[in-house]
Structure 1
Amino acid sequence: MPQTSIAQRKYSEIRKRAFENFINIRLFHFFIESPAIPEPNIDELIKLSVRKELYDLYARCHQMVSSLPVPDYPHIKIGELDKLYKNWYDKNTQHTSALENVFQEQHFFSKEEFIKFYGADEIDRSCTYCKVLESEIKKLAEHGWIKTKRHLTRGRTMELDRKDPFLPYTKDNVALCCYWCNNAKTDEFSIAEFERIGTAIHVIWTERLKKINKLKK
Structure 2
Amino acid sequence: MTESRPRARTRTRLPAAERRASILAAATEVFSETGYQRGKVSDIAKRIGVSEPVVFQNFGSKAALYRAALDHVTDSVSALLHQAADAGRPVPEVLATFLDPAHMDHFHQPGSHGFLFADAAALAHDPDLGGALRQVHQHFGTALAELLRRGQSAGEIRDDVDPETAAWWLVSLLAGRSFRAAVVPERDAVEAELTRMALGALLPEGSAGGGPRPSRGSA
TM-score by length of 2: 0.27
Which structure has the higher relative contact order (CA within 8 Å, separation 6+)?
A: 1
Higher helix proportion (structure 1 or 2) = 2
Q: Which has the larger radius of gyration?
A: 2
Higher strand proportion (structure 1 or 2) = 1
TM-score by length of 1: 0.27
